[in-house]
Amino acid sequence: MVDPAVSSPLRPFCCGCSAASCSEAPTRTMAATEIARQAGEGARAIPLSGHVGFDSMPDQLVNKSVNHGFCFNILCVGETGVGKSTLMDTLFNTKFEGEPTQHNQPGVQLKSNTYELQESNVRLKLTMVNTVGFGDQINKEDSYKSIVEFIDTQFEAYLQEELKIKRTLHSYHDTRIHACLYFIAPTGHSLKSLDLVTMKKLDSKVNIIPIIAKSDAISKSELTKFKIKITSELVSNGVQIYQFPTDDETVAEINSTMNGHLPFAVVGSTEEVKIGNKMVKARQYPWGTVQVENENHCDFVKLREMLIRVNMEDLREQTHTRHYELYRRCKLEEMGFKDTDPDSKPFSLQETYEAKRNEFMGELQKKEEEMRQMFVQRVKEKEAELKEAEKELHEKFDRLKKLHQDEKKKLEDKKKFLDDELNIFKQKKTAAELLQSQAQQAGGSTTLKRDKERKNSGFL
């Protein structure tokens, strides 16, 4: 039989009582402690698999995020033929397949494509939005409106998902634009009016990163002056472009340096050229070769480092905490929601809802009363119109009735006149026929008499 004291070495009271004031408690506790010590000497030690502590939470978050995957959405804004698709292929080292688009549309159209990328064990759902037909129209006044509407539509879709009673944000495909690569044509002179107006309309809605496309089209000296000119025009026109964050010590130095290189002068190419003993992406010309990943030739590497390796998460965070929050706040304020009452006291969502509901019901009742009065007024006006029309119809009917009677009387008089003439005609006809008959009879008798006389005279 198993000794209960041995089988339960940490049990403080052998007598089974649970009172701490038991007179035998100290003796029993010491005995239990000794038994536990003896039992512990023969216990099996279990080694730990790792450090025990809450400092493993970052690893848990990393594992969870890696399993869930990431999403990143890029908006490419630029004129036709400036090299948007080529740069995207070069940036992610992938040939993104897509249908060729026609550039004869009357307005700007936004075309969105989503791709599943994987690097090591990290999955990225990349969405690229291209502005088809941007800058192709003669009248470019409304070119930015389609882009602004598209960005607001993505914000609205996320807001509606957020306001649902049963939300699924963990599995919701976030289509909000995280970065806007604005492609500037390498004119070497200054920004176009279209570029300034569009960036001014977009700077409060998306993170704008200006880049000079096809920068190998102008010389180094012209490119330096062009960068200075662009920066000056952006500042003078109040355009807020995305600044790489410098509050994180780990990336503060590199981001501070890269902020001075904006706008990036880039060159894109998916063709590989053999330089020395290795193959590199480059653009080959009769006068030489421009290497895409050579920092002496262009800023492509800087753009890739800043956009993908260093600041991708900050772009996502800025989109949510700055641009989306601004849209959400303005939208809720338009709907009548607010945080404080006129006395600057906290205003709960329920109170806001009730106040808005009462206001809406008051306006609804007011509009209902106005519509009722308007309906009554219109009914009265319609009744008056109908009565007037009825009176006119009665008068017209009386006129027509009288006219009908007059016409009928005329017809009857005329009929009587014709009947009288017909009777007279018949009488005359009868008399004529009688006279004709008598004349014929008389003529026949005369003829017979003449014949007889002739006959008699012949015999003579």
pLDDT for res 83: 85
Report the distance separating Cα 315 and Cα 72, nearest Å: 9
Q: Is the pTM of this model over 0.85?
A: no
For 28-46, write each residue's pLDDT tens digit. 555 555 555 555 555 566 6
Cα separation, 192 vs 82, whole angstroms: 14
* pLDDT tier, 137 (very low <50, low <70, confident <90, very high otherwise): confident
Q: What is the DSSP letter of 1?
A: -
Count CA atoms within 13 Å of residue 361 on its CB side: 6
Are the beta carbons of 190 and 233 closer than 8 angstroms? yes
Query: Contact, 177 vs 75, CB < 8 A?
Result: yes
Condensed to tens digits (0 to 9), the pLDDT of residues 372-414 reads 999 999 999 999 999 999 999 999 999 999 999 999 999 999 9
pLDDT digits 0-9 by tens, 249-266 = 888 889 888 988 889 999
Secondary-structure breakdown of the chain: helix, strand, coil percentages, each rounded to the nearest 5? 55, 15, 35
Instruction: Using the predicted structure, report yes or no on whether residue 21 has a pLDDT greater than 50.
Output: no
Query: Helix, strand, or coil here: 235?
Result: helix
Q: Say if residue 421's pLDDT is above 50.
A: yes
Whether pLDDT at 428 is above 50: yes
206: left (phi over 0), alpha (psi -120 to 50) or beta: beta
Mean pLDDT in the chain? 82
Q: What is the model's pLDDT at position 32?
A: 53
Q: Which of 4, 3, 2, 6 is nearest to 43 (CA)?
A: 6
Average pLDDT over residues 177-186: 92
In tens, the pLDDT along 430-442 reads 888 888 888 888 8
Nearest to 284 by CA among 273, 297, 276, 293: 273
Give every strand in the sheet of 288-291, ordered side by side.
272-275, 278-285, 288-291
- Provide the percentage of residues in the chain whose pLDDT is more than 70: 84
Rg (CA), the chain: 52
Segment 152-180, tens digit of pLDDT:
999 999 998 888 888 888 888 889 999 99
pLDDT at 139: 82
Q: What is the DSSP letter of 323?
A: I
pLDDT score recorded for residue 38: 56
